[in-house]
Structure 1
Amino acid sequence: MHQDTICDLYLRLSLDRDGKTAIERQEADCRAWAERNGLTVRKVHIDRGRSGYKSVERKGFDSALAAVTAGVVGTLVVWKLDRLSRKGIGQVGQVLDDIEETGGRLVSVIDRVDTSNDSDRAVVAMLAELARTESKNLGTRVSHAKRYLRSKGQWIGGQPPYGLLVDPKTKKLTHDPQHAVYARLIADEALAGTSLVNIARMLNEYEVLSARGGQWNAASIMQLLRSPAFAGLMPETETVESDDGERKYKSRVFPYRDPETMDTVEIGEGIITVREREKIIRQLEARTFVHAGRRRPKPEGTALLTGLIFCGVPGCERRMHRVGNSYQCMARRAGNQCPGASALADRVDDYVVERFLAKLPALEPDDPLVVAIADRWVHRTDPETFAKRDAIKAEIDDEEARLADLEDARYVRGEFKGAAAVERYNRLAERLRERMDGLRADFAKLPMPSVDVSPMLDGELLREAWKASEDADRRGRLSLAIDRVKVSKGKRGQRFIPEQRVRIESAALDEDMTL
């Protein structure tokens, strides 16, 4: 088969530090194995700084698995099985099933495991569970080390709050001579009752950069003021244990208490005192609420165009949210430097909805917008199939580009001269054509999901369905046809004219096409 002589490599490293197994070494060993076994490496998928134990997104892992399960390659090579996953046989077993279903195989170079051998599957199961146990034990050792450092009042790692530094000798917090004065200014303004937005605006106007070098906003100010370390107290992040035994960090940070005395532990100098921190937190809690573990501004409802509406001011184009009766630019509300577009929400909603309901029934079935709507809808119904189709299509495009370059090399650049060179060209070209034929055959075998968009093109049915829907479903319908709704800034005292200030960018490929 066309994919039997081609393989992909998957490389992963949780922390790319000295003393760790470098990505480069993994790739060298995997390529050497592929060469010894007569395989051509097609692509290298890499996840740097991504854990194989925690539930985190791994784009390299996803693309590697899609390639082998779609039949783009016949072999997936990893340096060691724990590079693939540290979640045990639960995840690894599913990966093996998916690979074997398409006739592929998984190879671990260091473990000397090849799943094309039936006996190796038991070895894979054992190694997978060993990797999971090792990660769990490592987490336990790290927890013990952190507990020891906390008992000594020493900083356990990470970036300290703005305005503070870690003393390299004592491992305790001390004032940053460059930023402590601004940190104290933030605290004084908060104690005086100044809103977080106005504090952020003041800092941005005077070009005082945040800890990460960007602009301040209300969220970053709140996070700083609520940090226990900002008051010289040892911080601790709340964690929860999932069903599979994995411990996950949540967003809430609180003062650490010694498990024996239950007293808070000092970590060095703070920008504010403990009493000042308590006062600031009381003020913040009066103006905010807790949702999904995060403290947010008081609720103001979910609007129809949430996630679709953006500020149309050039250079800003940040999201807008409904605040009271208006959609307002969140960059402006967060204290960033933007003049801030705003418009009456009901007027914008009515305009966008009427354009949507009137535009769709007027379209022909082959209109680019109808095609785009159908494409988005069908991708929502079966994302896994489309991941495989996309992987094969991308490989076909790459092989076509290689063949075109090969033909240019012979007929344009004249690089193949003489009988032996022409024979080599013919061999290479034939191999590429066979590869493309095999890929196209695999592509044709994959099902092509379809949807019936005709109800959206029937004006009466569309309006009836709209009236019977909730806002969440209405947003879903709008997002099939609309990419963005942009609202430009109006002039004070001037009547709101939607046609002049609202631009609806459709999902059609033509960027100039608006609803």
Structure 2
Amino acid sequence: MHQDAICDLYLRLSLDRDGKTAIERQESDCRAWAERNGLTVRKVHIDRGRSGYKTVERKGFDAALAAVTAGVVGTLIVWKLDRLSRKGIGQVGKVLDDIEKAGGRLVSVLDGLDTSNDSARMVVAMLAELARSESRNLGTRVGHAKRYLRSKGQWIGGQPPYGLLIDPKSKKLIHDPEHVVYARLIADEALAGTSLVKIARLLNEYEILSPRGGQWNAASIMQLLRSPAFAGLMPETETVETDDGERKYTGRVLPYRDPETLDTVEVGEGVITVGEREQIIRTLESRTFVHVGKRRPKPDGTALLTGLVYCAVPDCGRRMHRVGVSYQCMARRAGNQCIGASALADAVDQYVTEQFLTKLPALEPDDPLLVAIADRWVHRVDPETFAKRDALTAEIQDEEARLADLEDARYVRGEFSGAAAVERYNRLSERLRGRIDGLRGDLRRLPVPSVDVSPMLDGVTLREAWADATNEDRRERLSLAIDRVEVSKGVRGQRIIPEQRIQIHWAILPTRRASIVNEPWRFCGPRAEVGSGSPSPTEVTRVARP
């Protein structure tokens, strides 16, 4: 088969630092195994600084799994099984099932495992559970070490707040001579009641860089001022217990308290005093809405274009949010250097809504916008299947590019001359064409969830559904047809003229899929309710060209 001699590598490192299990070492060992076994490495998927135990997004893992389960490659190689996952047989077992179903195999170099061998699965299950147990034990040991260091008042890791450094001997915080004066300026302005936005603008105006080297904004100022370490107190990130009994970080940082005395623990010098911190926090809390310690769902009245509307001021392009009765540029409100576009929200909403409700019923069945809408909708129905389809589509285009370059090399650049060279060209060309044909066959065999967008072409049905829908449902539908809405800067006191200040960027089918997928849309089956939530596979139908 076309993929049997091709493999992908998956590499992962929880902490992105040098060492014996560094990414470079993993890749070297995996490539050596592939070479010894006559396999060609197609692509290397990497997750740096991503845990295999915690529930976090791993784009490299997702891409590697999609490639092998779609049949793009026949083998997925990992350096060690715990690089793939530390979640036990629950996740690893599903991965094995998916790979086996696709006719592929998983290889673990250091463990000496190859799932093409039937006896390997039992060993994989044992190692997967062992990796999960090791992660739990490691978490326990790290927790004990952190508690010990906290009890000694020593910094336990991470970047200290702006204006502070870590003393290499005592492991306590000391003033950073280069930045502490600016850190104290921030504190003095906050104590004087200056808004965070104005503080950010002041720093940006004088080109004082933030800790990450960019501009300051209100959020970064607030995070700094609320940090316990900014006042010389030991910080601790709050955790909550999840439904499965594990601990999850909330992102909220509080002063650490000794479990026996319940007193806060000092960790060195602070830029502000504990009393000043309490005063600043009282001021900040008086300006914000308190959720009584709980995360509340967004009310139904959330702005219609949230996540879709952007500032059109040159060199800005940041998102706009509804503030009061207007959409306002968040870069301007956060203190960044943007003149800031703003416009009456109702006027923008009405214009975009009318354009949406008018444009869609006027579309022809083969209109590119309608194809893009259907493509987005069907991707939401079955994301796992389309991850495989997208992996195959990308590989087909890459292989076609290689074939085109090979043909240019012979017929344009004249790099293949002589009988032996022509024979080599024919061999390479035949191999590429065979792989492309194989990939196209795999793509045709994959199931294609279908979608019926015909209700969107019925003006009456579309408007009735829109009238009955919530703002969340309306945003869902708008995001199918619209990439972004840009609002330019207006003139104060002048009435907004939507056609002059609002530009709608309608959806476009991604180039890769548009160039490979030759499947026209027609409408059949039951009519999907446009105003309802996300469609289900039973509500929609799509037919591809045989």
TM (norm. structure 1) is 0.94
Counterpart residue type for residue 32 of structure 1? A
Q: CA deviation at 1:458?
A: 1.2
Which stretch shows the higher mean deviation, 239-248 or 187-196? 239-248
- Residue 31 (structure 1) aligns with: 31
How many angstroms apart in 1 are the aligned matches of 2:19 and 2:292? 39
In the other structure, the counterpart of 1:80 is 80
Give the RMSD, CA atoms, in angstroms: 2.2
Distance (Å, rounded) in 1 between the aligned partners of 2:448 and 2:374: 12
In 2, Cα distance between the equivalents of 1:293 and 1:64?
40
**What residue in structure 1 maps to residue 496 of structure 2?**
496
Give yes or no for the alignment of 1:384 onto 2:379.
no
SS of the counterpart of 1:288?
coil
Rounded Cα–Cα distance in structure 2 between residues aligned with 1:295 and 1:278 = 23
How many Å apart are 1:244 and its aligned residue? 4.5
For residues 334 and 244 of structure 2, the distance between their equivalents in structure 1, rounded to whole angstroms, comes to: 39
Q: Distance in 2 between matches of 1:147 and 1:254?
A: 15
Q: Does residue 1:151 correspond to 2:144, yes or no?
A: no
Deviations along 1:39-89, one digit per CA (max 9) or x if unpaired, are: 222222122222211222111111110011001111111111111111111
* Separation (CA, whole Å) in 1 of partners of 2:324 and 2:37: 67
Structure 1 range deviating more: 356-365 or 240-249? 240-249
What's the CA shift for 1:240? 2.6
Q: Which residue of 1 aligns with 2:323?
A: 323
Letter in 1 for 2:155: W
CA drift at 1:293:
6.8
Aligned length: 510
Q: Give, in angstroms, the shift of residue 456 of structure 1.
A: 0.8
1:141 aligned to 2:141?
Answer: yes
Aligned in 2, Cα 1:121/1:243: closer, same or farther, shift over 3 Å? farther
Aligned to 1:339: 339
Which amino acid letter does the alignment assign opposite residue 37 of structure 2?
Answer: N
Q: Structure 2 counterpart of 1:313, which letter?
A: V
Is 1:167 the equivalent of 2:183? no
Offset of 1:304 from its aligned partner? 0.6
Pair 1:123 & 2:97 matched: no
Q: Is the Cα–Cα contact under 8 Å of residues 300 and 323 in structure 1 kept in the other structure? A: no
Cα pair 2:256 2:264 within 8 Å, conserved: yes
Aligned-pair CA distance for 1:137? 1.4
1:478 matches 2:482: no
- Superimposed CA distance per residue, residues 274-311 of structure 1 (whole angstroms, 9 cap, x where no aligned partner): 11111111121121134597999x99951011111111
1:246 to partner: Cα distance: 4.1
The Cα of 1:395 is off from its aligned counterpart by 1.4
1:182 paired residue number: 182
Which residue identity lines up with residue 407 of structure 2 in the other structure?
E
1:19 is aligned to: 19
Q: Is the 8 A contact 2:300 2:472 kept in 1?
A: no
Question: Separation in 2 of the partners of 1:295 and 1:96?
Answer: 37
- Identity across matched positions, percent: 84
After the TM superposition, which residues 283-432 of structure 1 pair with which residues of structure 2 at under 5 Å, given as runs? 283-290=283-290, 302-432=302-432
Q: Distance between the aligned counterparts of 1:158 and 1:292, measured in 2?
A: 29
C-alpha change, 1:343 and 1:413, in structure 2 (3 Å) is closer
Match of 1:361, as an amino acid?
P
The answer to whether the 8 A contact 1:456-1:462 is kept is yes
Shift of residue 510 of structure 1? Answer: 11
Cross-structure match for 2:529:
none
8 Å Cα contact 1:312/1:488 also seen in 2? yes
Name the structure 2 match of 1:279.
279
Q: Identify which range, 399-408 or 80-89, moves more after superposition.
A: 399-408
Structure 2 spans left out of the alignment, 5+ residues: 512-546
Task: Please tell me the residue identity of whatever aligns with 1:307.
Answer: G
Amino acid at match of 2:146: K
State the secondary structure of the residue aligned to 1:317: coil
Q: Which runs of 5+ in 1 are unaligned?
A: none
Does the C-alpha gap of structure 1 residues 48 and 447 become closer, same or farther in structure 2, counting only changes over 3 Å? Answer: same
- 1:120 alignment partner AA: A
Instruction: Give the aligned residue type for 1:421.
Output: A
The amino acid that maps onto 2:373 is I
Counterpart-to-counterpart distance in 2, 1:52 and 1:258 = 31
